[in-house]
């Protein structure tokens, strides 16, 4: 469902992402972890079509992002790390705006939007301007809008930032449910417990390159730390790379 | 005081870092361009004032009175400008800047924060007024042989003059922010602008400027002189600076010193009062500003009237962006005052046409009416350029940090830009035609001029809008706290220069052929073959230019916006 081939991004002399090769299958939850500045957000943005790669390709559901960006984006539910929104729209208006962009018809919009806003605890505020929302509410609104068009791929950067424990549990359940129904989920996170709990496979990126890839068990084996949790595995692997 | 200086350092360092930024070369070009245009304005102001003062000097009897009256008017205008610009800057610096939450979390007192912000605000709001007042003072100094003491007085008087303006504005802002409900600070903008608009309009009507040039309308010459010699209010700081300059020019040093002392003591007293008020009220006002911004108009369940009719359109990106654009624009209260001011401009524009003394002109009225109508096409296009610079050029930048939504959406940048184009084209085209038809009716022009000017303006509007959208996309500023300021950037300047060139070319291309058609119809004869060819080529070029003005900027904007990724 998601194919990254030799994906590279260079900012001047800085190599942010270095020939990244990855594939995520339908129904899989893929966790993307790495230290600060490793290239996670850059990769996520290239996948979401908000940043063009220097080289390589992003293919979503068989569609090349560079060749047919609109069609590729239509299949993605993109959730950035910071929920910057149009502050002068209400929550419901933002949902309608998203529905119009992603081709959700007027017939199904209202029912779907209300359902999502209720699920995310925003329905009572749906006619208030977004500028009055808290950070967590904005984050929940972005997630609601991203799910409105039943995307085949979810690309999410730090999904749990700013959410309260109840919302975190809700998002985890929703992502699991979406994966069960065949949606591919690609998520970057710093919350290693979330990655360990949620992801089928995990990729560790460090200084722009993928240094490890596999299930939690495979990563533990790679780090020769069978009894350790993901945090220790992560620290060990990234430390080894830093020293080498 | 150390705390205040530390708080000012980020601003200073950011400014200095600007010179070592990666885009140093374009920055140098921008500085050169801005510097060049700024200097031209500066030199222009000097030339105009120098010539006017020289002329006044030659007028026996009351030339000096006129020169002093002019100085007094200039100083009052400067003071009003200082107050208005200081209020707007202070509101932003004290309560609306994004970094304030971080700054207030630092171990410094609110009084220190206030003082640091006030210094920044004073510099930001006064430097331009000071820079552009200097050529006026210089011309007075040269014409009236002011000498070194005159220039020293200016330097000594300008600083307290600016401090007084800035302190008065800061006191007003702090008091308003303390007593108005939180989140209503922006409402102050609306209120102030409305007041300004009403004052401007009433002042304009009461002045009857067309009669000011005609002393005959006064009961007697004595009355006319008296009206010119009326002293300003002794409570106005502009009167103190005026008196000190007048005294020094007439050689009365002690008088000048007295008025200078008035200025400085006034500034010191206001400074003390301001810090006292700020100490008592600033932090409370800031705390109030942190709560949710209330709207000027109450909330409505199922709101949507702003773009309800658009919901009848088939769903899709066009409707999405159009509805979003209209709603965010109409709900942004900071836009409203600008609209009021633009309406004031248009009212004044139309009023000017209604009072043109055509019948008193030695040139034939019929000829003059049509000449004005022709020139009015260019003037109306310039009015539209001003409107576009304020509302259309920043249209892409207003997406701000939410621009990721556009980038992540399944809509091409091209479609996004074209939606922006249509959203702004329709109202601007209607306004343009209203301006042209209204002024033509006031001028009672011929049918030919009516058709020509409405058609030409209709051709020019897409070009102006496309240049606004396209260049706004080519030079966006998504990080700005006030996207409307984008127009003061390099891109904004380029937009205005290109628009001026575009309008100028169209008018020039049409001048010759239109004159021959007009003269031919006036004399009751047909056009020669060569004139027909000339006419065809000119109008073909006009159409070509208008098409290029649409296509090229839109393409440039699309390319540059895509390249941002």
CA–CA separation, A186 vs A44, rounded Å? Answer: 8
Is B315 an interface residue toward A (CB < 8 Å)? yes
CA–CA separation, B378 vs B452, rounded Å? Answer: 12
CA neighbor of A154 nearest in space, from A180, A179, A182, A186: A186
Enumerate the H helices of B59-109 as residue ranges.
63-91, 100-104
CATH code of the domain made up of A1-75+155-164+183-244: 3.40.50.300
Task: Find the CB nearest A101 among B302, B320, B332.
Answer: B320
Q: For residues A220, A214, A17 and A187, what is the CA-based torsion angle, rounded to 10 degrees? A: -100
DSSP β-ladder status, A153-157 and A209-214: unpaired
CB-CB neighbors (< 8 A) of B409 in chain A: 73, 101-102
Strand partners, A210: A205
Q: Is residue B239 a contact partner of residue B233, using CB atoms and an 8 Å limit?
A: yes
User: Do residue A101 and residue B328 have CB atoms under 8 angstroms apart?
Assistant: no
The A55-60 sheet, strands edge to edge: A14-24, A2-11, A55-60, A63-64
Looking from the CA of A115 toward its CB, the CA atoms found within 13 Å total 9
CA–CA separation, A60 vs A3, rounded Å? Answer: 7
Please give the structure tokens belonging to residue B421: 């184009």
Task: Find the CB nearest A90 among B303, B316, B565.
Answer: B303
Smallest Cα distance from A157 to chain B, Å: 13
Smallest Cα distance from A66 to chain B, Å: 12
Contacts of B397 (CB under 8 A, 6+ apart): B472, B476, B477, B478, B480, B483, B486
Contacts of B43 (CB under 8 A, 6+ apart): B135
CB-CB neighbors (< 8 A) of B328 in chain A: 86, 88-89
CA–CA separation, A112 vs A99, rounded Å? Answer: 10
CA neighbor of A143 nearest in space, from A164, A119, A166, A127: A119
Encode chain B (565 residues) as per-residue pLDDT tens digits: 677 777 887 777 777 666 555 555 566 777 787 788 888 889 999 999 999 888 888 877 677 888 888 888 888 888 888 888 888 888 888 887 777 877 877 777 888 889 999 999 999 888 888 888 999 999 999 998 888 889 999 999 999 999 999 999 999 888 888 777 545 655 666 666 666 666 666 555 555 555 555 555 555 555 655 555 655 677 888 889 999 998 888 888 888 899 999 999 999 999 999 999 998 888 888 877 776 555 544 555 544 544 555 556 666 777 888 888 888 888 776 667 677 767 777 777 777 777 766 666 566 666 777 777 778 888 888 888 888 888 889 889 888 888 888 888 888 889 899 989 998 999 899 999 998 898 888 887 788 888 888 999 999 999 999 999 999 999 888 877 666 667 777 888 888 889 989 998 898 888 888 888 877 877 777 778 888 888 889 889 999 999 999 999 999 999 998 887 6
User: Do residue B315 and residue A129 have CB atoms under 8 angstroms apart?
Assistant: no
Confidence at residue B60, expressed as pLDDT on a 0 to 100 scale: 74
Contacts of B347 (CB under 8 A, 6+ apart): B201
CA neighbor of A153 nearest in space, from A56, A58, A35: A58
Confidence at residue B303, expressed as pLDDT on a 0 to 100 scale: 47
CA–CA separation, B100 vs B105, rounded Å? Answer: 8
CA–CA separation, B254 vs B243, rounded Å? Answer: 12
pLDDT tens, residue by residue, A200-214: 898 888 888 888 888
User: Do residue B401 and residue A80 have CB atoms under 8 angstroms apart?
Assistant: no
Confidence at residue B1, expressed as pLDDT on a 0 to 100 scale: 67
Smallest Cα distance from B480 to chain A, Å: 14
* Residue B479 backbone phi and psi in degrees, to 5: -100, -10
Is A193 an interface residue toward B (CB < 8 Å)? no
Is A114 an interface residue toward B (CB < 8 Å)? no
Mutation pick from A87, A91, A93, A100 vs chain B, by most beta carbons of B within 10 Å, is A100
To 5 degrees, how large is the angle CA B64–CA B69–CA B74?
125
Position A49 pLDDT exceeds 70: yes
* Residue B181 backbone phi and psi in degrees, to 5: -55, 145
CA neighbor of A196 nearest in space, from A157, A221, A231, A162: A231
* Residue B442 backbone phi and psi in degrees, to 5: -65, -35
Mutation pick from A86, A134, A152, A153 vs chain B, by most beta carbons of B within 10 Å, is A86
CA–CA separation, A102 vs A147, rounded Å? Answer: 10
Strand partners, A24: A2
Is B98 an interface residue toward A (CB < 8 Å)? no
The A201-206 sheet, strands edge to edge: A76-79, A153-157, A184-188, A29-33, A201-206, A209-214
CB-CB neighbors (< 8 A) of B404 in chain A: 50, 80, 84
Query: For residue B302, what is the nearest residue in chain A, using CA coordinates?
Result: A127
CA neighbor of B142 nearest in space, from B221, B204, B54, B15: B54
Please give the structure tokens belonging to residue A91: 């929550």
Confidence at residue B182, expressed as pLDDT on a 0 to 100 scale: 43
How many interchain CB pairs under 8 A, A with B? 93
Q: Is residue B248 a contact partner of residue B153, using CB atoms and an 8 Å limit?
A: yes
* Residue that is written with structure tokens 């209020």 in the block: B87
DSSP letters for B254-297:
HHHHHHHHHHHHHHHHHHHHHHHHHHHHHHHHHHHHHSPPPPSS
Is B297 an interface residue toward A (CB < 8 Å)? no
Confidence at residue B156, expressed as pLDDT on a 0 to 100 scale: 92
DSSP β-ladder status, A153-157 and A2-11: unpaired
Confidence at residue B27, expressed as pLDDT on a 0 to 100 scale: 64
The set of long-range contacts for B540-546, using a CB threshold of 8 Å and a minimum separation of 24, is B541/B509, B542/B456, B542/B459, B542/B506, B542/B509, B542/B510, B543/B459, B545/B463, B545/B502, B545/B505, B545/B506, B545/B509, B546/B459, B546/B460, B546/B462, B546/B463, B546/B506
- The domain ranges of chain A are 1-75+155-164+183-244, 83-150
Is A69 an interface residue toward B (CB < 8 Å)? yes
Strand partners, A188: A32, A157
Locate the DSSP E strands across B314-460: none
Smallest Cα distance from A132 to chain B, Å: 5
Helix (H) or strand (E) holding A220: helix A216-222
User: Do residue B302 and residue A127 have CB atoms under 8 angstroms apart?
Assistant: yes
Is A78 an interface residue toward B (CB < 8 Å)? yes
pLDDT tens, residue by residue, A58-102: 999 999 988 888 888 889 998 888 878 888 888 998 898 888 888
Is A56 an interface residue toward B (CB < 8 Å)? no
Contacts of A46 (CB under 8 A, 6+ apart): A7, A9, A17, A52, A53, A58, A65
Q: Is residue B562 a contact partner of residue B552, using CB atoms and an 8 Å limit?
A: no
CA neighbor of A135 nearest in space, from A173, A67, A209, A81: A81
Is B316 an interface residue toward A (CB < 8 Å)? yes
Is B304 an interface residue toward A (CB < 8 Å)? yes
CB-CB neighbors (< 8 A) of A106 in chain B: 315
CA neighbor of B65 nearest in space, from B210, B241, B246, B204: B246
Is B299 an interface residue toward A (CB < 8 Å)? yes
Q: Is residue A72 a contact partner of residue A61, using CB atoms and an 8 Å limit?
A: yes
Confidence at residue B547, expressed as pLDDT on a 0 to 100 scale: 94
CA neighbor of A87 nearest in space, from B98, B203, B152, B243: B98
Helix (H) or strand (E) holding A213: strand A209-214
Cα–Cα distances (Å) from B167 to B97, B112, B172, in that order, read: 19, 15, 9
Is B331 an interface residue toward A (CB < 8 Å)? yes
User: Do residue A86 and residue B324 have CB atoms under 8 angstroms apart?
Assistant: yes
Q: pTM value?
A: 0.71
CA B265 to chain CA centroid, Å, is: 33
pLDDT tens, residue by residue, B75-123: 888 888 888 888 888 888 888 777 787 787 777 788 888 999 999 999 9
CB-CB neighbors (< 8 A) of B405 in chain A: 84-86
Instruction: With a threshold of 0.90, tell me whether the complex ipTM lies above it.
Output: no
């Amino acid at each position: 469902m998601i194919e990254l081939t030799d994906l590279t991004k260079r900012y001047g002399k800085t190599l942010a992402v270095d020939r990244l090769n990855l594939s995520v299958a339908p129904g899989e939850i893929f966790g993307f972890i790495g230290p600060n500045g490793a290239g996670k957000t850059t990769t996520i943005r290239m996948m979401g079509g908000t940043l063009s790669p220097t080289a390589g390709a992003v293919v979503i559901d068989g569609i090349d992002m560079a060749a047919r960006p609109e069609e590729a984006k239509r299949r993605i539910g993109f959730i950035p790390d910071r929920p910057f929104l149009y502050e002068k729209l209400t929550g419901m208006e933002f949902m309608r705006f998203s529905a119009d962009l992603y081709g959700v018809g007027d017939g199904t919009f209202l029912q779907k939007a209300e359902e999502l806003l209720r699920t995310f605890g925003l329905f009572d505020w749906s006619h208030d301007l977004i500028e009055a929302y808290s950070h967590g509410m904005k984050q929940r609104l972005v997630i609601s809008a991203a799910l409105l068009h039943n995307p085949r791929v979810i690309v999410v950067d730090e999904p749990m930032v700013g959410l309260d424990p109840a919302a975190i549990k809700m998002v985890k359940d929703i992502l699991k449910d979406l994966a069960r129904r065949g949606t591919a989920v690609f998520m970057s996170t710093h919350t290693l417990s979330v990655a360990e709990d949620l992801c089928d496979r995990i990729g560790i990126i460090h200084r722009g390159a993928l240094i490890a890839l596999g299930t939690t068990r495979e990563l533990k084996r790679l780090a020769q730390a069978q009894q350790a949790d993901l945090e220790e595995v992560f620290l060990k692997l990234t430390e080894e790379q830093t020293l080498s | 005081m150390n705390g205040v200086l530390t708080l000012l350092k980020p601003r200073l360092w950011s400014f200095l870092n600007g010179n070592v930024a990666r885009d140093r070369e374009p920055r140098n070009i921008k500085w050169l361009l801005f510097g060049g245009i700024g200097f031209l304005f500066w030199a222009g102001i000097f030339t105009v004032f120098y010539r006017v003062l020289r002329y006044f000097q030659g007028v026996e009897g009351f030339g000096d009175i006129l020169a002093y009256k002019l100085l007094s008017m200039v100083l009052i205008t400067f003071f009003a400008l200082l107050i208005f610009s200081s209020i707007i800057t202070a509101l932003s610096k004290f309560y609306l800047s994004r970094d304030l939450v971080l700054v207030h979390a630092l171990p410094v007192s609110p009084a220190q924060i206030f003082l640091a912000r006030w210094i920044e605000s004073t510099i930001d709001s006064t430097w331009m007024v000071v820079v552009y007042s200097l050529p006026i003072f210089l011309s007075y100094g040269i014409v009236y042989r002011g000498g070194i003491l005159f220039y020293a007085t200016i330097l000594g008087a300008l600083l307290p003059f600016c401090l007084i303006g800035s302190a008065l504005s800061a006191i007003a802002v702090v008091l308003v922010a303390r007593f108005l409900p939180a989140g209503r600070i922006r409402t102050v903008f609306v209120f102030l602008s409305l007041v300004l608009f009403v004052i401007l309009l009433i002042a304009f009507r009461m002045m009857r400027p067309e009669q000011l040039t005609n002393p005959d309308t006064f009961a007697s010459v004595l009355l006319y002189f008296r009206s010119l010699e009326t002293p300003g209010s002794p409570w106005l700081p502009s009167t103190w600076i005026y008196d000190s300059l007048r005294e020094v020019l007439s050689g009365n040093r002690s008088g000048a010193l007295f008025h200078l002392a008035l200025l400085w003591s006034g500034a010191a007293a206001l400074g003390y009062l301001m810090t006292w008020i700020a100490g008592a009220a600033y932090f409370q006002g800031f705390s109030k500003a942190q709560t949710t911004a209330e709207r000027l108009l109450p909330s409505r369940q199922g709101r949507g009237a702003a773009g309800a009719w658009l919901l009848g359109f088939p769903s899709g990106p066009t409707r999405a962006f159009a509805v979003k654009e209209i709603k965010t624009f109409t709900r942004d209260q900071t836009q409203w005052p600008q609209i009021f001011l633009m309406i004031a401009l248009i009212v004044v524009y139309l009023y000017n046409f209604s009072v043109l003394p055509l019948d008193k002109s030695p040139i034939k009225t019929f000829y003059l009416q049509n000449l004005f109508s022709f020139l009015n096409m260019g003037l109306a296009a310039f009015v539209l350029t001003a409107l576009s610079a304020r509302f259309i050029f920043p249209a892409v930048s207003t997406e701000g940090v939410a621009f990721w939504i556009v980038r992540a959406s399944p809509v091409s940048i091209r479609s996004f830009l074209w939606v922006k184009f249509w959203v702004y084209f329709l109202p601007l085209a209607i306004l343009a035609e209203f301006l042209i038809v209204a002024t033509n009716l006031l001028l009672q022009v011929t049918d030919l001029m009516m058709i020509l000017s409405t058609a030409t303006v209709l051709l020019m509007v897409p070009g102006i809008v496309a240049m606004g959208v396209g260049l706004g996309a080519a030079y966006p500023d998504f990080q700005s706290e006030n996207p409307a300021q984008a127009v003061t950037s390099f891109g904004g300047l380029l937009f205005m220069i290109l628009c001026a060139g575009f309008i100028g070319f169209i008018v020039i291309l049409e001048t010759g052929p239109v004159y021959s058609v007009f003269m031919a119809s006036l004399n009751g004869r047909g056009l020669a073959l060569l004139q027909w060819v000339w006419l065809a080529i000119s109008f073909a070029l006009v159409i070509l230019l208008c098409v290029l003005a649409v296509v090229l900027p839109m393409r440039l904007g699309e390319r540059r916006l895509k390249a941002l990724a």
